[in-house]
Each structure stands twice: as C-alpha cells, then as structure tokens.
Amino acid sequence: MDVTLHLAQDPEADALLGRSPLAALVGMLLDQQVPMEWAFKGPATIARRMGAEDLDAHEIAVQDPDAFAELLSEKPAVHRYPGPMAKRVQQLCQYLVDHYDGSAELVWKGVDDGRVLLKRLQDLPGFGSQKAQIFLALLGKQLGVTPTGWREAAGAYGEPKSFRSVADITGPESLAKVRAHKQEMKAAAKAAKAAK
C-alpha cells in the first residue's frame, strides 16, 4: 500500500496513512466526534510520540493502558476523548495481533468477496456497520482493494463520486463537498426529529 491520501490535510500525516494499513485503520477508528482531519492526523501523532515512523500493532497492544492514554492526552490531544480512544486503539491492535498476526493489511489482503471483507471490518473493535462500510469504500475507491461486490457491500458509500464520506476525499474541493453533504444530513435529521 503506497498511495497519496488527503484525509488529514497534512502532508506528513497523509503520507503515513497512504503507506500504513494500520495507520489508515486507526485514523478511521478515531474518526468520530472530532473533525475528520484531526482524527486522521492521530496516527502520525501517535507514531511520533512513540518515537517511531509507523504504528506497530504488537507494540501498541502491550503498552501500559494508563501510559498509552497519557500519550494520547498530551497537548494537543489526539482526540477529544483521549482516554477512551486510547483504550479502543489498544483493543483494535490486540485484535489484529490475535487474529491477523498484527498485520492490518491481512484484514483485506486476498479477500475476493466484498461481503466477506465487510464482515471482517465489522468484526474489528470500534467498527460498527457504518464505519465498516465507509472504510470498505475507502479501500475500494482510493487504496485499490476491490473484491467482487465491494461497492454493493459498502452501500451508498461505495457509489462513485457520492461525496458522503472520507472515501471520497481527494483534496480540499472534495472535502468541502463531503462537509456539505454531512451538514445536509444533520439538518434533515434535526428536521425529522422536530416533526415528531
């Protein structure tokens, strides 16, 4: 995996996301309740604070939980909720160690069915149905992982140029389109709630 992503809108962080399957997974895990760029800068920040050029699932899984939470809490914090997210990152890494020998890429490498890959992603700690579909769409649209039926398994996120999620962000212009879509969805949800 060696592509150019534009999710963090930061060259160093985006370079790591493009070459490191684990960084991409951790960025997706962190992508909740914070701006997307903040979430996807997280893997590079964690690696730098650990004195490494990349993330290592084995190394993260065995960190002392309090020390790892402190590492994510240092200013600027990796996430709005650094303690709980540190725990989730460690749970994800432990799962990868237990099921994929610590290699995030093995979650999708050699999988030839989109539904099977979606199930593997949904099995990851911290990955619900929507997050798994978004990451599957990112794999298919930008990382060249295109098992049979991946678009269908990714649902609406798999649609070409749908601008619904990080899977469609390739630069500032597409980021603005995704933001606009999310604002429309929030407004519609708010209006529906008010109508009840």
In the chain, where are the structural domains located?
1-107, 112-195
Q: Please name which of 86, 84, 87, 93 lies closest in space to residue 55, comparing C-alpha atoms.
A: 93
**pLDDT grade, residue 194 (50/70/90)?**
confident
Q: Can you give the pLDDT at residue 35?
A: 87
Q: Can you give the pLDDT at residue 190?
A: 83
| pLDDT of 100 strictly over 90 | yes
Overall CATH class of domain 1-107: mainly alpha
Q: Can you give the pLDDT at residue 31?
A: 94
Write out the two tokens for 103: 């290699």
pTM over 0.85: yes
Q: How crowded is the C-beta side of 163, counted as CA atoms within 13 Å?
A: 15
Q: Can you give the pLDDT at residue 1?
A: 58
Q: What's at 50, amino acid-wise?
A: M
Q: Are 147 and 116 in contact (CB under 8 A)?
A: yes
